[in-house]
Structure 1
Amino acid sequence: MTGKKTSVRHEVKSSVKDESLIEKRRDQMIRGAVKLFREKGFHRTTTREIAKEAGFSIGTLYEYIRTKEDVLYLVCDRIYEEVNDRLSQLAEKQGTVDGLKDAIRLYIETINDMDDEFTVMYQETKSLPKTALSYVLEKELEMAGLFERMLAGCSEAGEIRLTEKEARLGAHHIIVQGQMWAFRRWALRKQFTLGEFIEMLTDQLLHGVAGLQREGEAT
C-alpha cells in the first residue's frame, strides 16, 4: 500500500502579518475568483476583476497574493484541506465497511458544497506554475491515499477482498466517480437527489455496476 506522504506547501507570499486577516481576505478572494473563473475562465479573468468581485481594491489584493496563479493555487489547497478535515472525523471507523461508506458520503457531500471549486480546479490546474502544480498533484495523490488505506484496512479486517493493487485502483475510482456530481451536475441533478446519488454510487463502487461475480466465486 502507498505510504502517507507529506507535501511541501507552495508559499503564497503576503506583506500582511495578521494571520486571521490573511485568512479572511484570501477567503474573499477565493469566492470571487471561483465565480469569475467559472464564468470567464482563468486566462480571461484579471486580478483587477478578482479584487472587485472580492470587494476591495487591486492594491489591497496584492498585499495578500503576488499573482493570479496564487489565487488558483489557494482554491485548490482549500479543497484538499476541506476533504482532509472532514474525513479525519472517521479515524475510529478505519477497517470497517460502514466507515468506508461514511467516507464516501462525506467526500461527495464536500463536492456538493464546493462543486464550483472542484470544477475550476480540474479545468484550470494546468495554469499553475510548476512548484504549485507539483504540490496540487501530490495532494491529489494524498486524497486517493486516504481511500486506499480505508480499502486496505477493510481487506485486512476481512470485510472485503482486495489485493494491494485493487485497493489502489479502487481509491482512484472513488475519487473520480464522486466528482461526477460536480462535472455532470447539468444532467445528474435533474435525475437524482444528492442522497440518491450517494447511495447508488456507493453501491456500484462496492458491488460493481453489473454485479457480476468473478469466475469461481460462489453465488
Structure 2
Amino acid sequence: MSIKHTVQSSVKDEGLIEKRREQMIQGAVKLFKEKGFHRATTREIAKAAGFSIGTLYEYIRTKEDVLYLVCDSIYDEVLHRLSGVSTEKGTIDELQAAIRQYFELIDHMADKILVMYQESKSLPKEALQYVLKKEMEMVSLFESILQACVQAGTIQLSEKEIPLAAHHIVVQGQMWSFRRWALRDQYTIEEYIRIQTDQLLRGVC
C-alpha cells in the first residue's frame, strides 16, 4: 500500500486545493532548481506560484510541505502510468511497454526529479525517509513486473536478482534527468529508451 504524507489545508474545496498545489509545485520546482531548497523562501515560492504568501499558507503549513507535494506528484504519476500497462501475461512486450512509459515520464518530469534528488541531502530526517520510502515503492512496481515475466518464463532471473534488476531500471530512467546535460547532445529520448531497453533485455533474456 502506498504511503502518503498528509499536507494540511484550511481550504475545503478539493478541486481548488489540487489546482493551487499544482501551481505551487510548478513554481517551487523552478525556484528550487535555481536557488536550492534552503535559500528559497516561502514568499518567493508564493510569488513563483502566482499568489500571495497568505494564500500559500492556506494550502501548506511549512516549506517542507512543498517538497512532500513534489515527491507525491512524481510517484503518483509513475503509479498512474504503470498501472495502465498490462503485465498479466509476463511478456517481453509488457516489460518493454512499462519501461517505455516510465522513461517517457522521466523525460516529462525531468526538472521535478532533478530537484527532488538534489535537495534530498538537505531534507529533515522525516522528509528524507519519506522520499526514500516512495522511491522503494517505485522499485517494487518493477519488481512485480519482472516477477511476472520470470513466472511466465520470458526472462531468466533468480529471486535475489529481481530486486537489483528493478533498481537498475529505475536508476537508468532517472539518469535521463541527472545526465541530460550530456545525454541530450547525443541521443533523443526515443534512442535512449531503445538502447537502454536492449541492454537490459540482453542481461535478463
Change (3 A) 1:94 1:52: farther
After superposition, the C-alpha distances for 1:1-20 in whole angstroms (9 at most, x for unaligned) are: xxxxx243211111111110
Alpha-carbon separation, structure 2, partners of 1:89 and 1:95 = 15
TM-score by length of 2: 0.95
| Residue equivalent to 2:142 | 147
Q: 2:157 aligns with which of 159, 162, 167?
A: 162
Aligned-partner residue type, residue 158 of structure 1: G
Instruction: Please state if 1:197 is matched with 2:192.
Output: yes
2:108 aligned partner:
113
Q: Do residues 101 (structure 1) and 102 (structure 2) align?
A: no
Task: Tell me how far 1:152 sits from its aligned partner.
Answer: 1.2
Task: Give CA-to-partner distance per residue, 1:105-124, whole Å, 9 cap, x none.
Answer: 00010000000000011111
Instruction: Give deviations 1:34-87, integer Å, cap 9, x for gaps.
Output: 000111111111110110011100000000001111001100110000000000
**1:81 has 2:76 as partner:** yes
Bigger shift: 83-92 or 184-193?
A: 83-92
TM-score where L is the length of structure 1: 0.89
| Distance (Å, rounded) in 1 between the aligned partners of 2:136 and 2:26 | 25
Q: How far apart are 1:92 and its partner, in Å?
A: 4.7
Contiguous gaps of at least 5 residues in structure 2: none
Matched position secondary structure for 1:99: helix
C-alpha displacement of 1:130: 3.6
Task: Tell me the percent identity.
Answer: 68
Uncovered stretches (5+) of structure 1, i.e. residues with no partner: 1-5, 214-219
1:132-188 deviations in Å (ceiling 9; x for gaps)? 333322221111011111111111101111101111100000000111110000110
Judging changes above 3 Å, is the alpha-carbon distance between structure 1 residues 94 and 84 closer, same or farther for their aligned structure 2 residues? farther
Counterpart residue type for residue 88 of structure 1: S
1:207 corresponds to 2:189? no
Contact kept in structure 1, 2:88 and 2:148, CA below 8 Å? no
Tell me whether 1:52 sits opposite 2:47 in the alignment. yes
Most deviating of 139-148 and 29-38:
139-148
**Paired letter, 1:126:** K
Aligned to 1:25: 20
Aligned counterpart, 1:64: 59
> 2-side partners of 1:126 and 1:81: how far apart?
22
Moved over 4 A (4+): none
2:97 partner SS: helix
For residues 31 and 146 of structure 1, the distance between their equivalents in structure 2, rounded to whole angstroms, comes to 26
Corresponding residue number in structure 1 for 2:36:
41
